[in-house]
Structure formats: C-alpha cells, structure tokens
Structure 1
Amino acid sequence: MELHVVIDGDKDLAGQLYRQLRDSIRAGRLAAGEKLPPSRLLAEQLGLSRKTVSEAYARLTFDRLLVGRVGSGTFVADSARSAPPPAASPSFAGAAVAERWRRMDTPLRHQAPAGHSRYEYIGGAPARSLFPHAEWRRCVLHALREGARSRGLYGPVEGMPVLREAIARHAAFARGVRCGVDDVIVTNGAQQALDLVARVLVEPGSLVAVEEPGYPPARLLFAAQGAEVVGIAVDAEGLQVDRIPDGTRLIYVTPAHQFPLGMPMSQRRREALLARAHAIGAIVIEDDYDSEFRYEGRPTDSLQSMDTRGSVAFVGTFSKTLSPELRLGYLIAPPAILQAVCIAKHLSDWHTATPAQWALAKFIADGGLHKHIRRCHAVYAERRERIMRRFDGDLSPWFERVPATAGIHLAAICRKPIDMDTLPRLARRVDVGLYPLEVFSHFGAPRQGLMLGFGAIDTDDIDPSLDRVRDILLQMG
C-alpha cells in the first residue's frame, strides 16, 4: 500500500513532500509510531529522486516529527501531537437529526464498569470460561478450507444454505419452531433481526408496542425509525394484552423469559396475544434470546409454533449460548414480510460474514452446540440455585425474587425503599458488580430492584460476593 502524497509540478519537490508529511502527522493521519516507507521506495513511488525524499525526511527529523531507528527504519515520533479535530458546525443541514441521535440514551451501550469487578452480575453475558475453544477452532479451520474452495464472491443475502438448514433443525428441536430452510435469515446478532423487521414495517407515526419494563435497544430502535412507541405493562403472566391499543402495527415481546424481570408468559396470555395481533393486523416479534436454558417446569410452546396466521417473526441469537462477540443470530420471518426483509438486508449489509457462517454450521451439524448447551446448563443451574437460595434466605428482608424458569439471569424486586444509586456504588468498592432494574423502565415509574446475571460470575464466587452485598445493606440500614 502506497503512502498518499500528491506532488504537483516540478518545483520545490522536497518542500512539497515535507509540508504534506508534516500536515499528515499533525492532523493525525499518520499516527505516532507509524513506519514510513524507506526513502528509496518512496522515491520510486512518487517519481522523485532519493535525495529529495531524504531531504524531506531530514527536515521532519529536525522538527522532531520523525525519528530514525537503526536497522528498523523511519517512524513518526511518539512526541508528535496531532491537532484537535475541527469543531462541528451547528449550521449543517442535518444538524437537528444528528443531534437527536447524539442525545439518544443507550443504557446498555456503555457499561463502563462491567467486567472490571471480581464478582460480576452483569446480565446477558455467557460464561467465557465455558466457551468450547478447541471445538470452535476445528470448525473455523473447516470454514477456512471451505472458503479456499469458493470463488470469493458475495454470499447469499439470506445466509449460507448449510447454516440456515442447521438453524432450522436447531430451532425446531429446541423451541418447536415450525419452519423450513427458506424461512430462515442469518443476521448479525438479534439486534439486526429487529432492525430488519422495523425497516420493512415501521414508518414515521407507526404505533409499536413494547413491554414495560423491557429491552431498551428494541424500544430505541423502533423510535429511531420514527415509530410512536407505547409501553405495555407486564405482570406475573407477562404482557397485559388487553392494553395493546388499536392501530398497533408491531408488537415486541420476550415471552419465554421476560426481559428483564424473567417471568414466562402464561399460555392464556400467549393465546390472547396471537388473537389480538390477528384482530388488529399486527406482526409480533418474538425475541427468544436465552430460552435454551430451562431449569424447571414443562416446556412451553413458542409463539411462532402456536401461530396459524403468519403473524409471528421469531428472533434467535447465539450470543447467549456461545458468545456475543460472534455477532450471529437469525430471523424466522413470516411469509408476509420474508422477501421484504431479504431486500432490506441486502441493502444494509448484503450478507453476514461467510467464514463465521461456515464455522457455526459445522459446529451445529457435529452436535457441538447441543453438547455445549448441556454443559453450560449444568453450570448455570447450580449458579441459579445458589442465587435463589440467598435471595430466598438472608437477602429476603430487602428483596423479593421474581419467579423464572429459564435464561441466564434472575431479577429481584425491592421489598422496601433502597437507595439504588448508592448500593451499586458501594458494591463496586468491594469488587461486586450490581445492575439496577431502573434502566429498563421508560414509560412509568421504574421498579426498584436488581438484575442478576449468572453467566459471568464463577459458581464459588456467588456466596462470598452476596455476603458483601448483605453487609452493605445492613450498613445502609
């Protein structure tokens, strides 16, 4: 790759080169520590004499912008300071739109303290220590071999057929979803699946119903598309269906493991939700983000498997079962929006990265995913049991645990007022990461409580960390 330098005419050649390199360093386009081409090579690339390049390098070295290292080459000096970027102009035509995006509150985007404490109860994070590195490495090597045999062109918008087939089998096996290969669209995580459905259904002023409390990124995404988003309260049975207003175009729910409270939606409510969606012509997004991990009770049908009218878009992800770093998810779209969603994905990113698709397809086909879920389930079940025992025991004077049958987090509601700004702050001082429920409420008074993820904390760390939380609560009175 050639260094971008433009030489104009045949006068003051060394000066032109000097000024362009100087300005690039000061503007930050050439960063501190960046290696510059050898003088002979740069001279050949620019059609200059080596003496001209050496003269420019010498002037920059004298200005302490470059430094030569014997046997290594010429580098941008570490002491070189780039100029601050130009201030944004408030008068550009799209300023109001950009400002609206800039001011958007995204509570789950910057969890700065997350992962910094020894004892972490962050939600939605699977256990890093359980990731099947050896099996995944073998699948990645398989993906590289498949890629070497390909023509190096763009892949199918909907996803590689081999992965779509594997996902269809997995969703049918694990959640009873009724689908074929042609119904599956591979996405960059569940968030892209939500975005695609919103793109093809939502326009400014459209009415969208979400759970309250609920998943903030979904609410914000729909609002960013111009929707009028309404929050529908949840109770012990899940979404209160009778509160969904007429004219609602899209309904977003997490029926298997309500986010963030955790209760499953009752069978009665599921049937009522499908009937209501059909009556008003709405599409239901069923976000099934972590229900592969079920610990008690009989399995419940997915909404999609109960749907007889093509009203449900089923969204799944591998972020909770494997790792969020893979950014792999899927959408099982109803026939009414399937082709529209494919076009939207084509226009937004064309397709999900094919090497990751090949690797995941191999991992599922070889039984690796099923084996990994079983292994994680045993670990998570023990962690969940320890947390429930503590919140049903010595922490029960302060918190009431919300019953949940699946997933990798629990929720606990405050029995009495607690300063939920102070508690997490004091817990962080003793190396415990706690996360309040308040950030998940938007439309009404927030519920005081904690979201307790048990993917990122080791089993043996649960009791010592909750001992510290109990002691803090006692000190707080």
Structure 2
Amino acid sequence: MELHISLQGRKGLADQLYRQLREGIDSGHLAAGTQLPPTRLLAEQLGVSRKTVAEAYSRLTYDNLLSGQVGKGTFITPHALTPPKARALPDLASEPILAKWRARAMPLARPPHATARYDFIGGASSKGQFPFDEWRSCTQHALRQSRSSNGRYSHPQGLPPLREAIARHIAFSRGVHCSAADVVVCNGAQQALDLIARVLIEPGCRVAMEDPGYSPARQLFLSLGAQVQAVPVDGEGLCVAQIADGTRLIYVTPSHQFPLGMPMSLARRQALLARASALGAIIIEDDYDSEFRYEGRPTDALQSLDSEGLVAYVGTFSKTLLPELRLGYAIVPPVLLEAVCVAKQLTDWHTASLSQWTLARFMDEGHLLRHIRRCHAVYATRRERILARLQGDLSPWFSAVPATAGYHLSALAKGPLDIDFLISLARKVEVGLYSLAPFHAEVPVQAGLLLGFGAIELLDIDPALDRVRDTLQTLT
C-alpha cells in the first residue's frame, strides 16, 4: 500500500513520520490489522533513509501500536484502534428537510437484530433455490460480451438483448402487450417506481393508492411532495369510486394486493381504467410476485386491458431470483418513455451492463422459466402447509385472507389480540413474525400477520408454528 505522508524540511523526519502514522492509527484512518509497507519501500516512496522509517516504526512498536510478524511484515495491532471522537454536526439551513427524510417510516427495511431461526419475513426468497451454476455460466458469457464492447456508457433504457428477453417473457407469462422498445431496465422495482413518479409528481400533486398498501411506494410519493390519498380496499380490490378528482397518479397491486393478497376483480379493473381515463391519470401496476399462481385460471396483467396507454407496468426479478441482484424493469407507455429515460440517465445513467448481459443470457437459455417452475412447486407446498395450520390448530386466533398468487399470506386476527406483543414473544422463541399494521395509513388497522413463505424451509414451518400456537395459548 502507499501511505499519504507529507514530510517537511530535512530535520526531525522520524518525528514527523511517527506523528502522522500515530494520528492515522488513533483516528481509525489506518485500521487495525492493516499491513504497513516494508521500511525499505516506504523510505524509497518518501525519499528518506531507511533508518528514519525504522526509527518511527520502532517507536510505534514500543507504544504497542505496531507488531511485527516474522516472514509476513509489520501490522497495526488490533487493540490499537480507538473509537473516533464524536464530531460536532454543522448547523445546516437544510436541517428541516433532512429531519423529514430521517423520519420516513420504512417497515420493510431489514430489522437491525439478527434473523430469527424461523423467519416468516415477506418479500424474501430462499437462496438455496437459486441456480448458481447456471448463473455462473451466464456470467462468463457476460464477461466475454463486456470484453468485446467499446467500454463506454450504455443507453439508459437498457441493453437491447435484455429488453427483448423481458418483453417475450412477460408477454408469455403475464399477457403484457409490449415490445422491447417499451422496456426500461432498472435497479429493482423500487427504482422503476421512483423514475415514473419523478416525471409525474410535483409538490401538491394528488396520488391515490391502496390502503393498506405498499409502504415504500407511499413514502416515495410523499418524499416528492405528493398528497397521497389512502383509498380503502375490499374483497374486489381498490375501491375505485373513492378515487378523488384531480388525481394524477394511481398506484395499485391488482394481481396480488399488497399486503392482503386478494386479486382485483375484472369489473373493478375495468372501472379503474375508466376512472384513470376520465382523470387523465397514469396507473402504476406493480406486479411484484404474480408469476407464482396456485389456484384458479391465470389472470392477465391489468396492462393487457389498457387501450389508451395509461398503465405503466412494473416488474422485478427480486422475487423470482434474488433481491440482492437489484434487477427490475418498467413497461412504460409511449407518452412517458422519453421523460423516464431522461430521469434514468440523470439518476445513474444505466443499470450495470454485466448484470444485464448475464440476465439476458439466463432468460434466453430458458433458465428463468425452469427456475420459476421449480420454485412454484416448492412455494406451493409451503403455502399449503401454512394454510393447513391456519385452518387447523391456529384457527381459534387467525383466518387466512384468500390469495391465489405470490409467496406470502395474510392472516387476520379473529378477536382482540395484541399483535406487537405476540411478535415480541415469538422473537424470544426464535420465530420472526411481522405485523400488517405498518402497511395501513388511514383506514382502521386490521390486526394480523404477514406470513412470508419464500425464505422459510418446509421442514421448519411446523416447528415454527408450533411455537406460535404455544405462545398464543399463553395469551388466552
């Protein structure tokens, strides 16, 4: 490594070097365990004698800040690192704005505590299902493509091979009407939501969304200055008749309502499209996990009914592959496309090309569809087991909300039940449970649980729910 050392004059050089190294160690800029350059090399870099460096190292070793390892070199001792001093925060004129950002509720953020042994967290998949061998092979192909490219920035809309693969996939699996020209590749669905909202919302604009609903979307709209109307849902989905006049943007999850899970009826979908047309509003259809369907006939996306170009369809590979890949997309109506591409370029220019090449190859070789089929069988079995328990020994306390897709279920409490207390008790017996309450904005909170089954193994479900049942019995 090359240290940033500045020596002045020709006298007291060992003292200067000692002080600067000590300051770096005390401040934490030189971390514990860091290997320092050999004395000969550092002397050459600084233009001083080797004796000068050796003297500084010797003093630091005497102070127990450095230690030598035979055959390896000189290292900063682990216990030498001291906590950095608290720095006084400046009095910023923008402090009120920063306070608003700090105060934003993020109920889906990962908890700071360790993951429970049995975790029913929503929105997470089992890493054991991911086809690493196939992905590795496709990454090798992507590296070859990258090596032969010109090394310049790519188009913000995404690589054509991936956009073509996405258009084919969602036309086949979700009935979406689009071509590669309509696809914008994003860093996950959250960026897709951000880009669409960014080009449509100004402070004071009215946005309508489901209540209960997807909280990160709500916080995003609020951060852009929108007036967010919380529209209640019923057994058919969003109550369209309650969408206020003047609404510019409508956010919905029609195929698998988040978090309750029921699909939006055909009549309600048609009413929503008619209402959006009358308002001149854009609809964001978040189709976050609808490729996993377990009952009834497949329902096409809301976008497939849109004849006026009012629906922006948002999808993600976080649910089908891995959240950490951060790959998603939007099918953008022509009226929005140019503006969204400008916003994408201003945000991050484009999604990483290597990941795009990898995913394009992965989809073209059929790995994605095979992976979805394998996961469908796994998730269906887990879902059936949870439903059996909710309809069995857990039925005195909970009832499942009818849901035919996705990989989470919602269970509503049948009577008065302190859900937060139940969650805290479950955590003590190593079970991670999650409340529906944070997803409500204005309507009366429905006490209940969101039970994700993407990340919990089948053999763990019964032991986990046994502990939940036993905990519930202590509360009654």
TM-score class normalised by the smaller sequence: over 0.9
| Structure 2 equivalent of residue 107 of structure 1 | 107
RMSD of aligned C-alpha atoms?
A: 1.6
Report how many residues are paired: 476
- Offset of residue 416 of structure 1: 0.2
Q: Does 1:98 align with 2:91?
A: no
| Structure 2 equivalent of residue 128 of structure 1 | 127
Deviation per CA, 1:244-272: give whole Å up to 9, x if none.
11111111111110111000011111111
Which deviates more, 390-399 or 9-18?
Answer: 9-18
* Distance (whole Å) between structure 2 residues aligned to residue 474 and residue 7 of structure 1: 72
Contact 2:255 2:264 in 1 (8 A): yes
Letter of the 1:50 counterpart: R
Q: Which runs of 5+ in 1 are unaligned?
A: none
| Structure 2 equivalent of residue 28 of structure 1 | 28
- Offset of residue 88 of structure 1: 4.2
| Structure 1 equivalent of residue 139 of structure 2 | 140
* Alignment map for 1:232-381 (pairs within 5 Å): 232-381=231-380
* Distance (whole Å) between structure 2 residues aligned to residue 13 and residue 309 of structure 1: 76
- Offset of residue 113 of structure 1: 4.5
Contact 2:116 2:431 in 1 (8 A): no
Q: Identity of aligned pairs, percent?
A: 62
Letter of the 2:439 counterpart: F
* Distance (whole Å) between structure 1 residues aligned to residue 321 and residue 380 of structure 2: 17
* Distance (whole Å) between structure 2 residues aligned to residue 92 and residue 22 of structure 1: 32
Deviation per CA, 1:351-388: give whole Å up to 9, x if none.
11111111111110000000010111111111111111
Q: Which runs of 5+ in 2 are unaligned?
A: none
| Structure 2 equivalent of residue 59 of structure 1 | 59
- Offset of residue 445 of structure 1: 2.8
| Structure 1 equivalent of residue 50 of structure 2 | 50
Deviation per CA, 1:416-455: give whole Å up to 9, x if none.
0111122122222222221111121122332100111111
Contact 1:114 1:433 in 2 (8 A): no
Which deviates more, 183-192 or 91-100?
Answer: 91-100
Contact 1:122 1:453 in 2 (8 A): yes
* Alignment map for 1:432-451 (pairs within 5 Å): 432-451=431-450
* Distance (whole Å) between structure 2 residues aligned to residue 220 and residue 298 of structure 1: 34
| Structure 1 equivalent of residue 397 of structure 2 | 398
- Offset of residue 114 of structure 1: 6.3
Letter of the 2:107 counterpart: P
Letter of the 1:2 counterpart: E
- Offset of residue 83 of structure 1: 4.3
Letter of the 1:32 counterpart: A
Deviation per CA, 1:123-164: give whole Å up to 9, x if none.
111122211121111111211222222232222211111111
Q: Secondary structure at the match of 1:265?
A: coil
* Distance (whole Å) between structure 1 residues aligned to residue 83 and residue 126 of structure 2: 42
TM-score normalised per structure 2: 0.96
* Distance (whole Å) between structure 2 residues aligned to residue 14 and residue 249 of structure 1: 68
Q: Secondary structure at the match of 1:146?
A: helix
- Offset of residue 37 of structure 1: 1.6
Letter of the 2:281 counterpart: A
- Offset of residue 300 of structure 1: 1.6
| Structure 2 equivalent of residue 14 of structure 1 | 14
| Structure 2 equivalent of residue 169 of structure 1 | 168
Q: Does 1:415 align with 2:414?
A: yes
| Structure 2 equivalent of residue 70 of structure 1 | 70
* Distance (whole Å) between structure 2 residues aligned to residue 242 and residue 169 of structure 1: 35
* Distance (whole Å) between structure 2 residues aligned to residue 46 and residue 442 of structure 1: 62
Contact 1:114 1:122 in 2 (8 A): no
Q: Secondary structure at the match of 1:296?
A: coil
